[in-house]
Amino acid sequence: MPLDLPLLNSSFNAKDKYRSRVGTSYALLPFKFIKLDHKRYIVTNFVGEYVVLSRTSLHALIQHKLEINSDLYDQLKVKHFIIDGDSTVALDLLACKYRTRHSLLKNLTSLFIFVVSLRCEHSCPYCQVSRQSQDRQAFDMQLTHAEKAIDFVFSSPSPDLKIEFQGGESLLNFELIRWIVERVSHRNDIESRNVSFVIATNLAILNDDILEFCAEYEIDISTSLDGPRELHNANRPRPNKNSYELTIEGIKRVRDRLGNDAVSALMTTTPASLSQPKAIVDEYLQQDFSSIFLRSISPYGFAVKTGVASGYSSEEWIIFYRSALDYIIQINLEGTPFREEYASMLLRKILTPFPTGYVDLQSPAGLGLSCLTFNYDGSIYASDESRMLAEMDDYTFRLGTLDNDTFADVISSEKLIGLLSETMTESMPMCADCGIQPYCGSDPVFHYATQSEIVGHKPTSGFCSKNMEIIKHLIHLLEDHEDSSLVLRSWIS
Ligand code: SF4
């Protein structure tokens, strides 16, 4: 039989199908690039692979002049920047990586925030939720709304359901928290989801009864710690001026009863924090935390009215952040493992194909898809920040009410879909061409609050400049500083 006849009823293709085309040409797959410094560019593709190239190499790549079989050629091929005749499964691999990167979308909402009370006994000038005084029970969530919210939670198809109690000071309505946790746990005997609970609290009114309940239902605690005593107490005034003392005592009590990892803390950067990056990190180390989340202030509620939110520029915050990050890396190099959380989430996006559930680092944004918020009055919001905006009489991100809407109504509503369609960084002006777009996200509520529109004008956006600088800085450390790179890589393991 002549050898070149097509083989019928065979699982083999004709032999020219197997001939390598390496050495003849390559095609470019979609990628973007952005300047890292005056000599080099960060080049990324839509599945989040990156390479750093000199200007000469970038030109050679684009002009199809790469030296075939060079290390750079192989690196670009492995990372799906180019494809040649040898790359038979490259497109399938690319699709697989893209699906993995967006895998959170298929489960829909997993985080549900219950604002059980807007009352608080602190009077922080940077309060972003517009807290109410302790005696105003009208700002507590009602049982009927809590009951409907639980139905809402279990309507999500997500196997993981996290319920976070927020305030004001959420423990001022602890009896409702108790009722919700018992009710959800009972219902979950049948539903069998992975349910977890977190209480966000300043710990000032923590007592043994609450601690016992948290122990029984394995509830985690999230608190606020802004830094050393003077800074924390200045940021977070309360009667007796003892917020710091109560927080530290509360952290100790939680750890004694629930275990070391049951409590985490968040800091908020105020103008007074900017000069104290090391002292703030030292405070977290002293309190035996294994990480810190360096957060800038958000432009909502009292933070806007008192002017605290405009007390520093994004450039000043970036200087503060980089200084704290350098110090944290140094601490690691001296032998103490300690992470910065925002960098850790970005590194996960830069170095792995896996997504992060952080609402502001997603495309489309995590509005509704990752998180829904039930406000004290029964309104449903697309995120925690959306309900903060509502206290400023702006209801742009209200998706419905517990009295009138179901999970399906909200998730498939034109309002949510319309909002989400404007948060795809792949197609947003400037983001679409940005070399670090795969690692960034969108924050429509921030842009709406600061620029009066959802997409945001990126050249003047504080969100954009913050992410741009931090992501470039992380890639610079990964590429140019071996010691720092090892530390940063350890944060994603
Ligand atoms: S927000 Fe800025 S940094 Fe982020 S992708 Fe868009 S242009 Fe790039």
Please work out whether the CB of residue 440 comes within 6 Å of at least one atom of ligand 1: yes
Q: Which residue has the higher pLDDT, 306 or 42?
A: 42
Atom of ligand 1 nearest to the CA of 34: 8
Residue 221's region, left for phi above 0, alpha for psi from -120 to 50, else beta, is beta
Q: Which residue has the higher pLDDT, 358 or 434?
A: 434
pLDDT of residue 391: 83
> Considering the entire predicted model, what is its pTM?
0.89
CATH fold of 108-333+356-420: TIM Barrel (3.20.20)
Closest CA to ligand 1's atom 7: 431
Determine the residue of 32, 468, 472 to mutate for testing ligand 1's pocket, defined as the one with the most ligand atoms within 8 A of the Cβ atom. 468
Cis peptide before 364 (omega within 30 of 0): yes
What six digits make up the tokens of 430?
């400037």
pLDDT of residue 167: 87
Distance from C-alpha of 443 to C-alpha of 356, rounded to nearest angstrom: 15
Please work out whether the CB of residue 361 comes within 6 Å of at least one atom of ligand 1: no
The pLDDT confidence band at residue 303, using thresholds 50, 70 and 90, is low
Q: What is the pLDDT of residues 239-277, one digit of tens each?
A: 888 999 999 999 999 999 999 999 999 999 999 999 999
Please work out whether the CB of residue 346 comes within 6 Å of at least one atom of ligand 1: no
pLDDT of residue 12: 60
Q: What is the pLDDT of residues 432-481, one digit of tens each?
A: 999 999 999 999 999 999 999 999 999 999 999 999 999 999 999 999 99
pLDDT of residue 297: 86
Tokens 């790469």 correspond to 66
Could you give the count of Cα atoms lying within 13 Å of 390 in the half-sphere of its Cβ? Answer: 23
With beta carbons less than 8 A apart as the criterion, state whether 413 and 159 touch.
Answer: no
Residue 184's region, left for phi above 0, alpha for psi from -120 to 50, else beta, is alpha
The pLDDT confidence band at residue 55, using thresholds 50, 70 and 90, is very high
Summary mean pLDDT of the chain: 91
17 by DSSP, 3-state: which? helix
Closest CA to ligand 1's atom 2: 464
458 C-alpha vs ligand 1 centroid, how far in Å? 7
Closest CA to ligand 1's atom 6: 431
With beta carbons less than 8 A apart as the criterion, state whether 14 and 7 touch.
Answer: yes
Least confident of 37-41, 51-55, 197-201, 308-312: 308-312
436 C-alpha vs ligand 1 centroid, how far in Å? 7
Least confident of 38-52, 118-132, 360-374, 475-489: 118-132
Please work out whether the CB of residue 468 comes within 6 Å of at least one atom of ligand 1: yes
Distance from C-alpha of 333 to C-alpha of 486, rounded to nearest angstrom: 9
What average pLDDT does range 294-298 have in this prediction? Answer: 89
Q: Is a pLDDT exceeding 60 seen at residue 19? A: no
Q: Is a pLDDT exceeding 80 seen at residue 1? A: no
26 by DSSP, 3-state: which? coil
Domain residue limits, the chain: 23-101, 108-333+356-420
Closest CA to ligand 1's atom 1: 464
Pair type for strands 82-83 and 27-28:
antiparallel
What average pLDDT does range 386-394 have in this prediction? Answer: 88
Q: What percent of the chain has pLDDT over 70?
A: 93
pLDDT of residue 136: 75
Determine the residue of 437, 457, 463, 474 to mutate for testing ligand 1's pocket, defined as the one with the most ligand atoms within 8 A of the Cβ atom. 437
Degrees to nearest 5, angle at CA 395 with 393 and 400: 135
What average pLDDT does range 37-41 have in this prediction? Answer: 96
Atom of ligand 1 nearest to the CA of 467: 3
Q: Is a pLDDT exceeding 80 seen at residue 133? A: no
pLDDT of residue 392: 86
pLDDT of residue 18: 44
pLDDT of residue 285: 98
Q: What percent of the chain has pLDDT over 90?
A: 75
424 C-alpha vs ligand 1 centroid, how far in Å? 11
Please work out whether the CB of residue 455 comes within 6 Å of at least one atom of ligand 1: no
